[in-house]
Amino acid sequence: MRTRYNAGITALGGYVPDHILTNHALEEMVDTNSEWIVSRTGIKERHIAIDKNIATSDLAVIAVERLLANAGLDKAAVECVIVATSTPDYIMVSTASVVCEKAGLTNAWGVDSNAACSGFLYALTLGASLIESGRYTNVIVIGADKNSAIINYEDRNTCILFGDGAGAVLLEQTTEDFGLIDNVFRTDGSGKEQLIVQAGGSKNPSSMETVTNKQNYISQNGRVVFKAAIEGMTQTCKEVFRRNDLVADDINWLVPHQANLRIIQSVGDILDIPIERVKINIDRYGNTTAATIPLCLWDYKDDFKVGDKVMLTAFGAGFSWGASYLVWGKLRGQ
């Protein structure tokens, strides 16, 4: 009989740049105020890579180095790297290949996954599938974005929301009943215009015109995205509940994408999961896109106990959204 493998998270790493952009600093840049930002989004500050030479890969590499140090894993043992990002270093050349080179992961192959704020969850299930197949024993999955590279700091609607950061998890093969158990994912391309960077791709290559019209920056219809995020995240979580005979009381921790505190609170309320069991760090980091969920896992890793049932959920551009259910296992070194 063929051995059944699960993919468990066994180590984590995270990184945000040192420079902090506070709400009060934004008051000097655009027509806004800290009280309004906090009341509408829950964000008090965000970390920004102000060095122009710092790319998304650099954020990811530091997260990976911290992961490897925590895992006590030799670089040569890493087999695969998947990077979820919407802000790749280059249009042509995967950020994963740059991360492998910079981090010295000479025996790993790498690939990028772009599903915006849902990217980490999509990449996580791709990595888990490689392990469940039996072909690989470990995969590093990274969520990393340098959002400051695509933010218009004259746009009060978007510049208050986003920060830079990276989070990484090590998935390893196990025959125990831990790891990623189930996912429900959805996409709806008709929502693409509601949250998008209009220029820079093959549809609308960068030009003097796109730069002048600020089409190389994020644009968002906040009201539409807000409503769709709550609906999408709650519906997919409920579907995961149904498929796995779960109720809200079974879930030890809800780890949602950190886009807006009011969205997070609404999702928890609709799912009947009390706020004490919802992981939140948006107040310190803002929306780091693909990095929000792995940064939450990194921040709160000491709270997760072996056997804890954890629900991850996200919504992002595309539209893309979904939920993942995992049972927490033992981290390396514990």
Residues taking part in catalysis: 117, 257, 287
Are the CB atoms for 323 and 233 separated by under 8 Å?
A: yes
Q: Which of 144, 177, 210 is the last residue of a domain?
A: 177
- For residue 3, pLDDT over 90 is answered with no
Interval 186-234: pLDDT, tens: 999 999 999 999 999 999 999 999 999 999 999 999 999 999 999 999 9
pLDDT tens string 71-111: 999 999 999 999 999 999 999 999 999 999 999 999 999 99
In the predicted model, what is the mean pLDDT of residues 40-48? 96
Beta-strand pair 109-113/20-22: unpaired
Instruction: Indicate the number of domains in the chain.
Output: 2
End-to-end CA distance of the chain: 32
Question: Are residue 142 and residue 32 in the same domain, yes or no?
Answer: yes
Mean pLDDT of 23-50: 95
Segments forming the whole domain that contains residue 269: 181-280+291-327
Is the domain of 168 the same as that of 185? no
Which residue carries 């790297």 as its tokens? 81
| 285 part of a folded domain | no
Quick one: pLDDT at residue 1? 63
User: Does 63 share its domain with 163?
Assistant: yes
Residue 332 falls within a domain, yes or no? Answer: no
Q: What is the pTM of this model?
A: 0.96
The answer, yes or no, to whether residue 2 has pLDDT greater than 90, is: no
For 4, residues 6+ apart whose C-beta sits below 8 A from its C-beta are 175
Assign 117 a pLDDT band (cuts: 50, 70, 90): very high
Spatial separation of the C-alpha atoms in residues 128 and 118, rounded to whole Å: 16
pLDDT at 141: 98
CATH number at residue 143: 3.40.47.10
Same domain, 72 and 163: yes
pLDDT of residue 139: 98
Averaged pLDDT of the chain: 96
Is residue 10 domain-resident? yes
Mean pLDDT along residues 243-270: 97
Residues 103 and 193 grouped into a single domain = no
Number of H helices, E strands in the chain: 10, 13
